Amino acid sequence: MRPQQALRVIISGASSGIGAALARHYAASGATLGLIARRRPALERLAAELGAPSEIYSLDVRDTAALAVAARDFIHRHGCPDLVVANAGVSLGTLTEHSEDRQMGIVARALRVLPNWLYDRLFANAPHKPRRGG
């Protein structure tokens, strides 16, 4: 973290559950937030509740163009984020139609691929990409 400056955090899936809880956590520590989810009214309620600097991006994380616009906007307004939380759920299909071994393979692939997929789409055209890690 930069001295004397609050974190800049982008959270996908921020409208409820773990994403909203993480937004509350980082807002309480003074972070500037980029909140991503499909449900704009829920994001607006959350942002109003937080009382922290927040940008709302109502989009589906599968929409590469919308993610790029959101990333450019956040970076333009606040600089490059210090942390990107890939919390949005993305379905890989119904698991019940596959064997247990196949189900585990699908889940493992999602856990390995989805965070990098979101990072790549958010920062595909960004002039300065945050360091990968986590």
Does residue 110 lie within any of the structural domains?
A: yes
The Cα 88–Cα 12 span in angstroms is 5
Order of all β-strands in the sheet with 83-85: 54-58, 32-37, 8-12, 83-85
The Cα 41–Cα 15 span in angstroms is 9
Does residue 46 lie within any of the structural domains?
A: yes
The Cα 90–Cα 13 span in angstroms is 10
Does residue 99 lie within any of the structural domains?
A: yes
pLDDT band with cut points at 50, 70 and 90 for residue 29: very high
Does residue 21 lie within any of the structural domains?
A: yes
Tell me the CA distances in angstroms from 39 to 29, 60, 62, 73, 130, one per residue in order.
Answer: 25, 9, 14, 19, 26
pTM comes to 0.72
What six digits make up the tokens of 51?
């009382």
Does residue 103 lie within any of the structural domains?
A: yes
* CATH number (domain holding residue 79): 3.40.50.720
pLDDT (tens digit per residue) in 40-68: 999 999 999 999 999 999 998 878 888 88
The Cα 17–Cα 20 span in angstroms is 5
Does residue 2 lie within any of the structural domains?
A: no
Does residue 3 lie within any of the structural domains?
A: no
Domains identified in the chain, total number? 1
The Cα 89–Cα 114 span in angstroms is 9
pLDDT (tens digit per residue) in 87-109: 887 655 555 555 666 656 655 66
> Which residue range is the domain that position 82 belongs to?
8-122
- What is the pLDDT, as a whole number, of residue 84? 86
- What is the pLDDT, as a whole number, of residue 51? 92
- What is the pLDDT, as a whole number, of residue 132? 57
Contact 80, 52 (CB under 8 A): no
Does residue 133 lie within any of the structural domains?
A: no
pLDDT band with cut points at 50, 70 and 90 for residue 39: very high
Contact 104, 44 (CB under 8 A): no
